Amino acid sequence: MRYTDKVAIITGAGSGIGRGIAEFLAEEGAFVLLNDVRAEAAESSKKILAEKGHRSETAIADIGTWEGAQFMVSEAVRHGGRLDLLVNCAARQIIKPVEDLEIEEWDTVLNVNLKGAFVCSKAAFPFLAQQRGAIVNICSVHAQATVSGFASYAASKAGIVAFTRAVAIEFASKGVRVNAVSPGTIDTPLVQAYFESCPDPVRARSEFLKFHPLGRFGSPRDIAEMVAFLGCPQAGFITGTEIVVDGGMTALLFAQ
Ligand SMILES: NC(=O)c1ccc[n+]([C@@H]2O[C@H](COP(=O)([O-])OP(=O)(O)OC[C@H]3O[C@@H](n4cnc5c(N)ncnc54)[C@H](O)[C@@H]3O)[C@@H](O)[C@H]2O)c1
């Protein structure tokens, strides 16, 4: 158990990858603070953890705001007494061509995905510095290459990769490591919503699978394993980097 007596915050822990990370860190002994903007989602993650015998608390807050980030961090310290790991996982995705994308929609995506990583890291840093803790930012393969309709999402994710490098350099003097994990296709409500938006969702899924050399989509657990590693002392010389966890998708030139 790598996280016994340690405290971790996971933003967007009410669904998909965030929930999977919270479950895995709790299995590894962490006390987890489950953040989400949707109270019902966070409570349902808390219930799942409780059923497995894990202690957790929720902090319902919009992490795209400084107030929300401060509240979330103060709740983690109030309940857990310390802070060892921040996982910036919450995100919004609005799929529209730039021509149709409203200004407010661009702001929404950038506020949650990019500003959120900034304000949460800023709020958490003083407490992480006390433990020589770590931050893991969940980015995306869209930071490197993308498709039509993803301009705001791709820009936000490329921004977090750059932010990861920049803040890793600043926080290094206090022993706080900062890394990025870029998932490929992970079967979560976010991806299910994308397939549902396609004219033929079943066909879209099987066509998409051809771009995955390992022959499957990822699971939240695949991402949680990497997050848990990056947050623990075995990764003590790794900071400012992006690790892609995508089943080989971005290594592939074209599907055969
Ligand atoms: N699923 C994938 O294939 C995939 C691929 C690459 C990257 N990612 C990234 O992984 C992360 C998790 O994705 P997911 O698929 O689990 O998504 P998801 O939509 O299932 O979960 C995201 C969670 O974030 C919460 N959230 C949204 N806005 C928030 C806010 N302002 N404050 C607090 N919480 C908020 C949502 O309520 C939701 O519970 C995201 O950063 C996403 O960009 C996912």
Per-residue 3-state assignment (H helix, E strand, C coil) for the chain:
CCCCCCEEEECCCCCHHHHHHHHHHHHCCCEEEEEECCHHHHHHHHHHHHHCCCCEEEEECCCCCHHHHHHHHHHHHHHHCCCCEEEECCCCCCCCCCCCCCHHHHHHHHHHHHHHHHHHHHHHHHHHHHHCCEEEEECCHHHCCCCCCCHHHHHHHHHHHHHHHHHHHHHHHHCCEEEEEEECCECCHHHHHHHHCCCCHHHHHHHHHCCCCCCCCECHHHHHHHHHHHHCHHHCCCCCCEEEECCCHHHCCCCC
- The verdict on 99 and 143 lying in the same domain is yes
Lowest mean pLDDT among 23-27, 66-70, 207-211, 238-242: 207-211
pLDDT tier at 255, thresholds 50, 70, 90: confident
Asked whether residue 256 is domain-assigned, the answer is no
> What is the structure's pLDDT at 197?
87
Is residue 90 located within the same domain as residue 207? no
Residues 58 and 80 in one domain: yes
Domain that holds residue 202: 185-217
The verdict on residue 1 lying in a domain is: no
What is the best residue among 190, 244, 245 to mutate for testing ligand 1's pocket, by most ligand atoms within 8 Å of CB? Answer: 190
The confidence score (pLDDT) of residue 45 equals 98
Same domain membership, residue 41 and residue 163: yes
pLDDT tops 90 at residue 169: yes
**Is residue 38 within 6 Å of ligand 1 at its C-beta?**
yes
Residue identifier of the C-alpha nearest atom 19 of ligand 1: 190
Mutation probe of ligand 1 site: the residue of 63, 89, 136 with most atoms within 8 A of C-beta: 89
Q: Do 111 and 194 share a domain, yes or no?
A: no
Domain match, 140 and 210 both: no
Nearest ligand 1 atom to alpha carbon 223: 10
Query: For 55-115, where are the alpha helices, taking DSSP H only?
Result: 66-80, 103-110
Q: Check whether residue 58 and residue 29 sit in a common domain.
A: yes
Same domain, 113 and 212: no
Distance 47 CA to ligand 1 centre (A): 19
Instruction: Examine residue 252 and state whether it is found in any structural domain, yes or no.
Output: no
Give me the chain's average pLDDT, please.
97
Number of domains making up the chain: 2
Res 158: pLDDT: 98
Phi, psi (degrees; rounded to nearest 5) at 177? -95, 145
110 and 20 belong to one structural domain: yes
Residues 68 and 54: their CA atoms lie apart, in Å, by 25
Average pLDDT score over residue span 195-219: 93
Q: Are residues 213 and 227 in the same domain?
A: no
Q: Are residues 107 and 211 in the same domain?
A: no
Instruction: Look at residue 68 and tell me if it is in a domain.
Output: yes
**pLDDT for the residue 172:** 98
The encoded tokens of residue 189 equal 């409500």
Residue 194 in this model has a pLDDT that exceeds 90: no
Could you tell me if the CB of 239 is within 6 A of ligand 1? no
Mean pLDDT calculated for residue range 58-86 = 98
Pocket test for ligand 1, best of 9, 10, 11, 15 (most atoms within 8 A of CB): 15
Catalytic center residues: 153
Give the mean pLDDT of 226-242: 98
pLDDT at 256 over 90: no
Query: Tens digits of per-residue pLDDT, 136-165?
Result: 999 999 999 999 999 999 999 999 999 999
Residue-wise pLDDT for 111-141, tens only, equals 999 999 999 999 999 999 999 999 999 999 9
The SS3 of residue 167 is: helix
Q: Atom 13 in ligand 1: which residue has the minimum CA distance? A: 17
pLDDT of residue 101: 98
Mean pLDDT score, 202-210: 92
Q: For the whole model, what pTM was predicted? A: 0.98
Q: Are residues 173 and 195 in the same domain?
A: no
- Domain presence at residue 166: yes
pLDDT mean over 226-236: 97
pLDDT, residue 30, reads 98
Taking the C-alpha atoms of residue 204 and residue 195, their distance in angstroms, rounded to an integer, is: 6
Q: What percent of the chain has pLDDT over 90?
A: 95
